[in-house]
Chain A
Amino acid sequence: MKYVDVEKIKKDFPILNVKPHGKKLIYLDNAATTQKPIEVIKAMDKYYEELNANVYRSPHYLSALSTQAYEEARERVKKFINAKREESIIFTRNTTESINFIAYTWGMKYINEGDEIILTIAEHHSNMLPWQMVAEAKKARLKYVHLDENFRLSMKDFKEKMSDKVKLVAVQHMSNVLGIINPVEEITHIAHKYGAKVLIDGAQSVPHMLIDVQKIGCDFFAFSGHKMLGPMGIGVLYIKEDLLSDVPPFLRGGEMIDEVFEDRATFAPPPLKFEAGTPNVKGACVLVSAIDYIEKIGLSNIHNHEGELLEYGLQKMKELDFVKLYGPKDAKERGGLISFNVEGVHPHDVATILDEEGIAVRSGHHCCLPLMRYLGVPATVRASFYLYNDFDDIDALVEGLKKVRKWFK
């Protein structure tokens, strides 16, 4: 393992000592959620032991501390994804809420009858259902970009579907099923030529690669804290600076106002106008600890490490003639996850047998039913990697799959 010191990293994750069914835990469900290092776990207590108070409101010592910590978190996230301005960083619960936020606000205001919204067939339901809602309410049309023969997004199909009617392109940065990394910079460039806005679902990319929202040029970018070593319940929505006044508030209530009368209100400047009610201050503060940890290891090291795991995993699994792999055959421009099926065995049976060996994988449709239909399978098994995985974990998975074959001959 030349890019990261996995042995050392494993020691930072107490949960890896859990022994499922008496076996060593092999955690390969990182695309669903990642485990947390001790620094992150301690930061959760630290917030409530040393900082807790409501933000912005009260003129006392603790409130000043928590407000400062919360704003520092915003600043830190801004740097992490290289946004231009802090106001562009809005804290939400997760990617799903970030995307719904834009659908209910910008989408419901600016998408009209006859307009088109472009999605890809590989989208997660969370970047599909909000747009179905907008399309239905506003009589707009959804168009899906398909994949090429090597499971990559067909840029040819995308270009053919682009037109002046398209108001929004909503696309995942990395697929949680196929692992493909989409050329979001090129997609944004093309969409902008037609005057369309671009939303990127970064749930699967942010934990694993350097993100530069200015370089991508997108208008909206969404991601979750819990898939990048942070706690559940904190997510981020990035809104490009020139759209901050166009996007209406999502939720209305406390701490997002300028002036309130009996029949109307005016709103605070962004980001406050987008964060009604007491926010998840602890979540934002702990997210900083997760970013600290990731940056200590280095995102490019993490990315390269996962690349090595992927290459090794693809190689090993190709040797199993009873396993069918989904996704591009080469490891290039692919994130660290492998979706597969064992011939003649339902993914849930595969996952149950692997679980008995201490191996945690996801089985099912991965919240991508249209993609499953497109691939012609009811479900798949998915092994997804992170910085604490090593070749031994993949070897264990391969041995586990041989056991599956023994049970279902």
Chain B
Amino acid sequence: MSDLNQLYSEVIMEHYENSPHEKELKDATHKERGYNPLCGDNITLYLKMNGDIIEDASFTGHGCAISQASTSMMIDLIKGKDKKEALRLVQKFIDMIHKKDVNLDELGDAQVLQGVSDFPARVKCALLAWKTLQEIL
């Protein structure tokens, strides 16, 4: 598989083009903007927390395929999880992008973003949503 095939795989393109999570969350309890000033990727992350549980989550904004798909995949992964578990998964994802050895199975669709670690210029795109979630939690 070529590098580009890995970067723009079907799963990534599906999340980029048809994410069910790309919308405003009316009853959100948390709202945080994630912005990458160097490339202009700009997302707003919405969370609906019930105590420590992330009941619902969504995002709006614009950016490249990688940043948008990564945000969508993250929401898939963290919905319904409690704060501690979500933060653990975020760290796992960050480790994966930084080429640290981790068990990827737990990351769901997001594990396909492993290929991004071979594109240093795009690492920030992939991490934007995850770092934003870290900020909120």
- Among residues 85 to 126 in chain B, which have CB atoms less than 8 Å away from a CB atom of chain A? 119, 121-122, 125
- Say yes or no for A356: interface residue by CB 8 A criterion: yes
A364/B4 in contact, CB under 8 A: no
Q: Which residues on B sit within 8 Å (CB–CB) of A378? A: 40, 42, 62-63
A184 to B13, CA, bound (A): 47
A348/B4 in contact, CB under 8 A: no
B40/A365 in contact, CB under 8 A: yes
- Say yes or no for B38: interface residue by CB 8 A criterion: yes
A349/B66 in contact, CB under 8 A: yes
A348/B64 in contact, CB under 8 A: yes
A356/B40 in contact, CB under 8 A: no
Q: Which residues on A sit within 8 Å (CB–CB) of B2? A: 356
Q: Which residues on B sit within 8 Å (CB–CB) of A348? A: 39, 41, 63-64, 66, 121-122, 125
- Size bracket, chain B contacts: 20 to 34
- Say yes or no for A143: interface residue by CB 8 A criterion: no
The SS class assigned to the B binding surface is: mixed
- Size bracket, chain A contacts: 10 to 19
B4/A379 in contact, CB under 8 A: no
Q: Which residues on A sit within 8 Å (CB–CB) of B41? A: 348
Q: Choose one: A21, A346, A356, A365; the contact of B64 (CB below 8 Å).
A: A346
- Among residues 348 to 379 in chain A, which have CB atoms less than 8 Å away from a CB atom of chain B? 348-349, 352-353, 355-356, 363-365, 372, 378-379
B3/A356 in contact, CB under 8 A: yes
- Say yes or no for B65: interface residue by CB 8 A criterion: yes
CB within 8 Å for A352 and B39 given contacts A346-B63, A378-B62, A407-B8: no
The SS class assigned to the A binding surface is: helix
B4/A407 in contact, CB under 8 A: yes
CB within 8 Å for A353 and B62 given contacts A348-B122, A363-B39: no
A187 to B119, CA, bound (A): 45
- Say yes or no for B73: interface residue by CB 8 A criterion: no
A365 to B38, CA, bound (A): 8
- Say yes or no for B47: interface residue by CB 8 A criterion: no
CB within 8 Å for A352 and B119 given contacts A346-B63, A346-B64: yes
- Among residues 122 to 141 in chain A, which have CB atoms less than 8 Å away from a CB atom of chain B? none
Q: Which residues on A sit within 8 Å (CB–CB) of B4? A: 352-353, 356, 407
Q: Which residues on B sit within 8 Å (CB–CB) of A363? A: 39
- Say yes or no for B7: interface residue by CB 8 A criterion: yes
Q: Which residues on A sit within 8 Å (CB–CB) of B119? A: 352
Q: Which residues on A sit within 8 Å (CB–CB) of B63? A: 346, 348, 378
A378 to B37, CA, bound (A): 11
The smallest C-beta distance from B96 to any residue of chain A, in angstroms, reads 19
Scan B1-42; emit 1 where CB is below 8 A from any A CB, else 0: 011100110000100000000000000000000000011111
A346 to B63, CA, bound (A): 6
Nearest neighbor of B7 in chain A, beta-carbon distance: A352
Q: Which residues on B sit within 8 Å (CB–CB) of A356? A: 2-4
A353 to B119, CA, bound (A): 11
A356 to B119, CA, bound (A): 10
Q: Which residues on B sit within 8 Å (CB–CB) of A21? A: 3
B7/A364 in contact, CB under 8 A: no
A407 to B63, CA, bound (A): 17
A350 to B71, CA, bound (A): 20
A114 to B3, CA, bound (A): 57
List 30 A-B pairs, Cβ < 8 Å. Answer: A21-B3, A345-B65, A346-B64, A348-B39, A348-B41, A348-B63, A348-B66, A348-B122, A348-B125, A349-B8, A349-B65, A349-B66, A352-B4, A352-B7, A352-B119, A352-B122, A353-B4, A353-B8, A355-B121, A356-B3, A356-B4, A363-B39, A364-B38, A365-B39, A365-B40, A372-B40, A378-B42, A378-B62, A378-B63, A408-B8
* Top 10 A-B pairs, shortest CB-CB distance: A346-B64, A348-B64, A379-B40, A378-B40, A349-B64, A349-B65, A364-B39, A365-B40, A356-B4, A407-B8
Beyond A346-B63, A348-B64, A378-B62, list 6 extra A-B contacts (CB 8 Å).
A346-B65, A348-B121, A349-B66, A352-B4, A352-B7, A363-B39
